[in-house]
Amino acid sequence: MWTERQIIEIFHLLFLRAFGARVDKALFALKGGCNLRFFLKSIRYSEGMDLDIHTVAVGTLRNNVSRLLEAQSFAQLLRAQGIEIARTSLPKQTETTQRWKLTLRILESAAEVPTKIEFSRRGLEGEQAVEPVDPGIIRAYRLYPVIVQHYCVHTAFAQKISALALREQVQSRDVFDLKQLLDAGGAEQSLPATAAVNLPLAIDRALAVDYDAFAGQVLAFLEPEYQEHYRSRKVWAELQRQVVDGLEALSQ
């Protein structure tokens, strides 16, 4: 019934709703691609979900997440959507990062798809809001509303600039997401100092991302009706130019 990308998205939404029932929503914030997708109408699906969390001990978070993933009530929610958790691992549980890797099984086809949930412990910085996920997404999956704290557009924009600049490997999805954030008004406020420092490197890296990297890393994660449009090298070149122009305007 659902594509593999949609299966992952449904899982993320169900997890957010269940986790928010266990942990105070003020203690964590959704960021990254899921934030853009769920609150800014991004057409890009995310393979994993990233959140910031604070004041929750490592052991407490590990227990809360692991118990949630193992709960019969959560398994029933997943089965109602044709999903089950096939395997779970905890490859990183440190004072700075806690990561769960999961393999989801689609019951109808027995196909398996990977995803991850990662919590960072660098504090909640910038502007956040507690809001419901885009009702259009919720209706499409016939889910109950999901309310979660997330980073607002100006903070998400600053975070994405730093992500593009500081990743060990440049990710073309960062350039694609920056176009979304520019269109949503992310550049309408002054950049915080950390993002401003990273801006020159972000510009250089945005210029370095070529079409082949975008096609290999991002294209398959776009909503199907947009894939043909973005398959064009000309479309990518124009998107890249607009992002670079937008970032350069901030450095003047």
Q: What pLDDT, on the 0 to 100 scale, is given for residue 175? A: 98
Q: Which residues contact 119 (CB under 8 A, 6 or more apart)?
A: 28, 51, 52, 53, 61, 97, 98, 99
Phi, psi of 138 (to 5 degrees): -60, -45
Provide the 8-state DSSP code for 190: P
Q: What is the SS3 assignment for 128-167?
A: EEEEECCHHHHHHHCCCCCEEEEECHHHHHHHHHHHHHHC
**Res 122: pLDDT:** 84
- Residue 61: CB atoms within 10 Å: 19
Domain ranges of the chain: 4-151, 154-250
All residues at 6 or more sequence positions from 138 whose CB lies less than 8 Å from its CB, including other chains: 13, 132, 144, 145, 146
The confidence score (pLDDT) of residue 248 equals 97
> At 191, is the secondary structure helix, strand, or coil?
coil
C-alpha to C-alpha distances, 57 to 24, 90, 228, nearest whole angstrom: 13, 16, 46
- H-state helical runs in the chain: 4-22, 32-39, 58-70, 72-80, 135-141, 153-166, 172-183, 193-208, 211-217, 224-230, 233-250
**Can you give the pLDDT of all 252 residues of the chain as single tens digits?**
899 999 999 999 999 999 999 999 999 999 999 999 999 999 999 999 999 999 999 999 999 999 999 999 999 999 999 999 999 999 999 999 999 999 999 999 999 999 999 999 988 999 999 999 999 999 999 999 999 999 999 999 999 999 999 999 999 999 999 999 999 999 999 999 999 999 999 999 999 999 999 999 999 999 999 999 999 999 999 999 999 999 999 988
Structure tokens at 105: 């099984």
Residues 6+ apart with CB under 8 A from 164: 170, 171, 174, 175, 178, 198, 202, 205, 206
Instruction: Look at residue 50 and give its three-state secondary structure.
Output: strand
Neighbouring CB atoms inside 10 A of 205's CB total 19
Asked if residues 68 and 22 have their Cβ atoms less than 8 Å apart, the reply is: yes
At 1 the pLDDT is 80
Specify the pLDDT at position 40. Answer: 96
pLDDT at 75 (0 to 100): 98
What predicted TM-score, i.e. pTM, was given to this entire model? 0.96
pLDDT of residue 252: 80
Q: What is the pLDDT of residue 80?
A: 96
Domain 4-151 has CATH 3.10.450.620: yes
Phi, psi of 164 (to 5 degrees): -60, -40
pLDDT recorded at residue 29: 98
